[in-house]
Amino acid sequence: MKISASYWIFDGGLDGTLQISSAMEQARGLGFDGIELGIASKGVLTHQTTKEECEEIVREAEKQGLEISGVASGESWTSSPTSSDDKVRETILDFTQKALQVTQWLGTDAYLYVPGAVEVFFLPEAEVIPYDVCFKRASEAITKLVPVAEKLGVAIAVENVWNKFLLSPLEMREFIDNFNTSQVGVYFDVGNVLLTGYPDQWIRILGSRIKRVHIKDFKRSVGTADGFVDLLDGDVDFEAVKQALSEINYNGYVTAEMIPFSPGRPEKTAAAMKEIFK
């Protein structure tokens, strides 16, 4: 497996102000094989980024000796596909269609997609959506996106996140299979499931549906978002994770998503990724 750094782990990454060339230089300097870029409605990479601009980013990656391992977006947290507001749902649909095109222009084939939420834990003012309504709206949104994803050859990779939705690997598997296309899969996050489950079990159950993997660590005893800790400081059994990934013949990128940035964290993350995966 190849190790990748999320653009978000670097200073200025989460708010989209860090120049991509600088993020790439840092990733290369830390010994990563690739970088996962982040796309949002504002920042250095957006749904309005042109083909020519993407080609320049690809050239910069080649210059740095890096691959673009994927493209991630958190846009769906605040502009949710499961919102009760029709205009919000239309806005995120338009954004995602354009973001899928940007992803293809960047020469990669996986787009991390948050499918909506029953609850947004870090936005107390956000509406709470009934679970069955969330399921229906999330399904409708992806169904509308599938033709674009299939045309572009870019997978909509649904991430398991703290949205109180798709809470088990069996439900995630059924949700993905309902679309009956290889262009809908999973961006599996090993740290996000640790509070209620076992990453290796999820990996075996989801199997080839897994398009990409996010690496984080988490302490069960904390039980809140404060439980996300530096790699090798938490309770993730990385040997079990590696064994499960081997069993499903996963040989793609594993991407470190250690956020928020703090001084020294990218360096510590790179060292841990090498220890775990190389």
| pLDDT exceeds 90 at position 222 | yes
CA dihedral of residues 220, 225, 230, 233 (deg, nearest 10)? -20
Phi (first) and psi of residue 15, to 5 degrees = -90, 5
Average pLDDT, the chain: 97
Q: How confident is the model over 24-52, as a mean pLDDT?
A: 98
Instruction: Name the residue among 165, 234, 161, 172 with its Cα closest to residue 201.
Output: 172
Q: What is the greatest pairwise CA distance in the chain?
A: 48
pLDDT bucket at 48, cuts 50 / 70 / 90: very high
**Digit-coded pLDDT (tens) for 224-242:** 999 999 999 999 999 999 9
Q: How many degrees, rounded to 5, is the angle at CA 235 between CA 121 and CA 30?
A: 90
Summarised one tens digit per residue, pLDDT across range 59-95 is 999 999 999 999 999 999 999 999 999 999 999 999 9
Answering whether pTM is above 0.75, one says yes
Encode pLDDT of 111-169 as tens digits.
999 999 999 999 999 999 999 999 999 999 999 999 999 999 999 999 999 999 999 99
Query: What would the mean pLDDT of 181-198 be, rounded to a whole number?
Result: 97
Counting residues of the chain whose pLDDT is more than 90, the rounded percentage is 99
The answer to whether the beta carbons of residues 190 and 237 sit under 8 Å apart is no
Reported as a pLDDT band with limits 50, 70 and 90, residue 278 is confident
Domains of the chain: 2-277 (3.20.20.150)
Give yes or no for residue 97 having a pLDDT over 90: yes
Whats the size of the chain, residue-wise?
A: 278
SS3 per-residue string spanning the chain: CEEEEEHHHCCCCCCCCCCHHHHHHHHHHCCCCEEEEECECCCCCECCCCHHHHHHHHHHHHHHCCEEEEEECCHHHHCCCCCCCHHHHHHHHHHHHHHHHHHHHCCCCEEEECCCCCCCCCCCCCCCCCHHHHHHHHHHHHHHHHHHHHHHCCEEEEECCCCCCCCCHHHHHHHHHCCCCCCEEEEEECCCCCCCCCHHHHHHHHHHHEEEEEECEECCCCCCHHHEECCCCCCCCHHHHHHHHHHCCCCCEEEECCCCCCCCHHHHHHHHHHHHHC
